[in-house]
């Protein structure tokens, strides 16, 4: 690809190369090698003028083939363990919401000081200022500002030079002139206000010059996790987002994420349009995602990739084309988790640490499956932003909205179907076991629940393949014969659209469990549910006894409602044999 070549030549080559439909992994490796060819030409003393591949500017995904059944599909990927994803998401949102302003302000100051240190000349005045700054500290035995360099503790030349107005060379000469063979580590505090808090207390006494690039990396990773997890996007779709992709709506409606695609985009003359075109259907963005995008937009120039490699090498500032690669993003996530666990130790918050996932490393592809898992199994429950999970079933499912799933190769509704079907089958299995153990059942949908439990497929120990998504969708389409556990309401929903009081959409295959209402014709309860209600009643009664009168009154009313519901169950419940 010499200087006379164009993007069309690159596109024609890879199109022909991938005509045999290779795996995405093989195709990605091929594009990487072609990029190496261009990069090597830039380093040659006599370059032949290899042009930059278009995927380095536009993102690689649009030049890769669709996933095939032989690839590792997202439906076969293990979701993240709840004990892992809950603190990970909490810390990611904490970084974006509570700590981002401090970190970004420190980044501005860090870059200002870097520039000062480069431009400061060597002068007698600078040398005198250096001595005035360091000699009293040296005499008093207090720590000098230091940094780590090649395994050694050395004077923080850039920080000191920018602080006192001398040159970097003058700082380097200070250690030699004063024969400082060993140095004790010392801090490099920035004159940046610390406003962020963790658990109601400032998260730092001061921000240190040496940690700024690391903090920027962790902040960017936190924003990436929020975008990956709370949009339902695939990793390559997040990598392709650009600054300005999520403008504030003028009419107060939902925020929408708009992006471009580049593959097979041509003008009227059939020529490839390198600028691409906007995708027809955007993604819906909930508030944490909008905030994460706003943070990323403060890191990159207008119109640039939010995860462009050139703007995310905070320590070295190397100019690289394209977005961060999957391997790099995976490493950053692991590094972020290690950073979180160090922070929890220093703040005495060990219970907020991120444990090791039982299924191994936290790869990018696992977030999307995990989102579907939580929507299906934890509606309104145990993880951060649980209420958003409930609403996001409507936002993400193409069958109930104009959301994300309608425009993807394999929309997230397929991933959601898989997790919902697995959860429903688990609920049916538990219902069978409890009835077999002698528990009684009550509720207007009790007979349907027994039928659904008998007819439900068994998935225990089954390997989930790509074909399972179709089977899951067929299973969920059996209106009135699918069971949904709702632990927050202490009941099982035998979902039938026409009976539902939670106002599901016309084509919904699952209830809005975050909006479960008393008196619904789809509800059933077992003896164990009634026991849960009575235990909750006792807990509320104890809380009411310690509460001010107005609050105590409301708590006792709630307790009476729970007690009445449990009493109704015991008065009307029947053994399964009596309903057969």
Q: What DSSP assignment string belongs to 424-445?
A: HHHHHHHHHHHHHTT--EESTT
Q: Which residues does 360 contact at the CB level (< 8 Å), separation at least 6?
A: none
pLDDT tens column, 158-183: 999 999 999 999 998 998 888 776 78
- Same domain, yes or no, for 59 and 87? no
382 is a domain residue: no
439 is a domain residue: yes
**Which residue did the predictor score with more confidence, 410 or 242?**
242
- Same domain, yes or no, for 356 and 455? no
Determine the angle formed by the axes of helices 527-545 and 549-572, rounding to 10 degrees: 160
Q: Sign of torsion, CA 311 314 317 318?
A: negative
By residue range, what is the domain housing residue 20? 7-71
Tell me whether residue 130 is exposed, middle or buried, using C-beta atoms within 10 angstroms of its C-beta: 0 to 12, 13 to 18, 19 or more: buried
Q: Which of 43-57, 168-182, 549-563 has the highest mean pLDDT?
A: 549-563
Q: Sign of torsion, CA 372 378 382 388?
A: positive
Q: What is the mean pLDDT of residues 128-144?
A: 90
- Same domain, yes or no, for 241 and 265? yes
391 is a domain residue: no
Which pLDDT belongs to residue 377? 66
Give the integer Cα–Cα distance in Å for 150 and 57.
34
- Same domain, yes or no, for 361 and 474? no
Which pLDDT belongs to residue 88? 93
- Same domain, yes or no, for 101 and 180? yes
140 is a domain residue: yes
The dihedral formed by the CA atoms of 103, 108, 110 and 112, expressed in degrees to the nearest 10: -170
Query: What is the phi-psi region of residue 489: left when phi exceeds 0, alpha when psi lies from -120 to 50, beta otherwise?
Result: alpha
- Same domain, yes or no, for 64 and 79? no
Cβ atoms of 475 and 457 within 8 Å: the answer is yes
Which pLDDT belongs to residue 126? 94
Query: Which residues are paired to 491 by β-bridges?
Result: 486
**Which residue did the predictor score with more confidence, 48 or 128?**
128
398 is a domain residue: no
Which pLDDT belongs to residue 348? 92
Which pLDDT belongs to residue 410? 44
402 is a domain residue: no
Give the integer Cα–Cα distance in Å for 318 and 340.
26
Confidence of residue 151 (pLDDT cuts 50, 70, 90): confident
Q: Is 406 helix (H, G, I), strand (E, B) or coil?
A: helix
Q: Residues in the chain, how many?
A: 580
Give the C-alpha distances (Å, rounded to integers) separating 477 from 233, 482, 485: 25, 8, 17
The kind and range of the H/E element at 461 are none
Tokens of 65: 């083939």
Tokens of 271: 């020529």
Which pLDDT belongs to residue 199? 87
Residue 260: HSE in the Cβ half-sphere, 13 Å Cα cutoff: 19
Give the integer Cα–Cα distance in Å for 365 and 232.
11
Cβ atoms of 94 and 102 within 8 Å: the answer is no
The kind and range of the H/E element at 118 are helix 100-119
pLDDT tens column, 494-536: 999 999 998 888 888 888 877 889 999 999 999 999 999 999 9
Which pLDDT belongs to residue 391? 44
Q: What is the mean pLDDT of residues 40-64?
A: 79
pTM score: 0.65
pLDDT tens column, 248-259: 988 777 888 887
401 is a domain residue: no
Q: What is the mean pLDDT of residues 390-395?
A: 46
546 is a domain residue: yes
- Same domain, yes or no, for 24 and 59? yes
Q: Is 330 helix (H, G, I), strand (E, B) or coil?
A: helix
pLDDT tens column, 411-468: 556 667 777 888 888 889 899 999 999 999 999 999 999 998 888 876 554 445 556 6
Does the pLDDT at position 62 exceed 60?
A: yes
Give the integer Cα–Cα distance in Å for 151 and 145.
16
**Which residue did the predictor score with more confidence, 545 or 469?**
545
Give the C-alpha distances (Å, rounded to integers) separating 215 from 100, 118, 211, 219: 9, 23, 6, 6
- Same domain, yes or no, for 260 and 358? yes
Total domains in the chain come to: 3
Which pLDDT belongs to residue 132? 94
pLDDT tens column, 344-369: 999 999 899 999 988 888 888 888 87
Give the integer Cα–Cα distance in Å for 228 and 88.
12
Determine the angle formed by the axes of helices 82-94 and 212-231, rounding to 10 degrees: 120
* Among 357, 377, 397, residue at a domain's last position: 377
**Which residue did the predictor score with more confidence, 1 or 284?**
284
* Among 27, 43, 71, residue at a domain's last position: 71
* Among 361, 377, 393, residue at a domain's last position: 377
- Same domain, yes or no, for 80 and 218? yes
Does the pLDDT at position 237 exceed 80?
A: yes
Q: How many other C-beta atoms are found inside a 10 Å radius of the C-beta of residue 580?
A: 9
- Same domain, yes or no, for 82 and 65? no
Q: Which residues does 171 contact at the CB level (< 8 Å), separation at least 6?
A: 130, 155, 157, 160, 161
Mean pLDDT of the chain: 83
Does the pLDDT at position 313 exceed 60?
A: yes
- Same domain, yes or no, for 502 and 543? yes
- Same domain, yes or no, for 65 and 89? no
Which pLDDT belongs to residue 74? 53
Tell me whether residue 241 is exposed, middle or buried, using C-beta atoms within 10 angstroms of its C-beta: 0 to 12, 13 to 18, 19 or more: buried
Cβ atoms of 187 and 208 within 8 Å: the answer is yes
């Amino acid at each position: 690809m010499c200087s006379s070549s164009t993007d069309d030549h690159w596109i024609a080559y890879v199109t022909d190369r991938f005509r045999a439909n290779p795996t995405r992994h093989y195709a990605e490796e091929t594009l990487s090698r072609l990029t190496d060819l261009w990069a090597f030409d830039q380093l040659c003393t006599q370059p032949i003028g290899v042009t930059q591949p278009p995927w380095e500017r536009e993102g690689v995904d649009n030049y890769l083939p669709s996933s095939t059944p032989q690839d590792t599909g997202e439906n076969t990927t293990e979701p993240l363990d709840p004990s892992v994803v809950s603190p990970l998401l909490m810390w990611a949102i904490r970084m974006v919401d509570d700590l981002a302003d401090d970190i970004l302000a420190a980044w501005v100051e860090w870059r200002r000081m870097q520039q000062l240190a480069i431009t400061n000349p060597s002068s007698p005045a600078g040398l005198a200022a250096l001595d005035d700054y360091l000699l009293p500290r040296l005499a008093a035995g207090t720590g000098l500002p230091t940094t780590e360099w090649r395994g050694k503790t050395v004077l923080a030349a850039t920080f000191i030079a920018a602080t006192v107005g001398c040159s970097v060379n003058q700082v380097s000469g200070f250690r030699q002139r004063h024969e400082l063979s060993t140095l004790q580590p010392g801090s490099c505090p920035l004159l940046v206000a610390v406003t962020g808090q963790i658990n109601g207390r400032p998260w730092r006494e001061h921000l240190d010059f040496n940690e700024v690039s690391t903090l920027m990396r962790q902040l960017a990773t936190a924003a990436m996790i929020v975008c990956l997890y709370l949009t339902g996007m695939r990793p390559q779709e997040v990598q392709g987002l650009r600054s300005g992709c999520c403008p504030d709506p003028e009419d107060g409606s939902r925020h929408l994420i708009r992006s471009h695609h580049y593959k097979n985009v041509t003008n009227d003359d059939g020529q490839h349009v390198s600028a691409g075109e906007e995708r027809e259907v955007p993604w819906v963005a909930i508030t944490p995602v909008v905030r994460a995008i706003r943070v990323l937009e403060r890191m990159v120039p207008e119109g640039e990739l939010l995860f462009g490699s050139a703007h995310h090498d905070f320590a070295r500032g190397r100019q690289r084309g394209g977005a961060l690669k999957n391997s790099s993003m995976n490493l950053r996530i692991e590094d972020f988790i290690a950073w979180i666990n160090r922070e929890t130790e220093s703040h005495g918050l060990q219970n907020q640490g991120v444990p090791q996932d039982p299924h191994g490393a936290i790869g990018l592809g696992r977030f999307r499956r995990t989102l579907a898992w939580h929507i299906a199994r934890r509606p309104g429950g145990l993880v951060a932003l649980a209420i958003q999970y409930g609403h996001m079933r409507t936002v993400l499912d193409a069958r109930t909205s104009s959301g994300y799933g309608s425009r993807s190769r394999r929309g997230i509704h397929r991933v959601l179907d898989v997790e919902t079907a697995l959860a429903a089958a688990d609920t049916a299995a538990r219902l069978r076991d409890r009835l077999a153990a002698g528990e009684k059942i009550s509720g207007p949908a009790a007979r349907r629940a027994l039928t659904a439990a008998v007819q439900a497929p068994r998935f225990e120990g089954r390997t989930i393949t790509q074909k399972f998504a179709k089977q899951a969708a067929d299973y969920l389409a059996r209106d009135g014969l699918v069971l949904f556990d709702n632990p927050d309401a202490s009941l099982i929903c035998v979902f039938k659209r026409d009976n539902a009081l939670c106002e599901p959409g016309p084509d919904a295959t699952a209830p809005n469990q975050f909006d479960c209402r008393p008196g619904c014709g789809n509800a059933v309860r077992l003896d164990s549910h009634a026991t849960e209600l009575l235990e909750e009643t006792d807990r509320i009664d104890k809380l009411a006894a310690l509460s001010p009168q107005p609050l105590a009154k409301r708590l006792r009313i709630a307790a009476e409602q729970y007690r009445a519901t449990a009493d109704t169950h015991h008065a009307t419940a029947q053994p399964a044999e009596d309903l057969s």
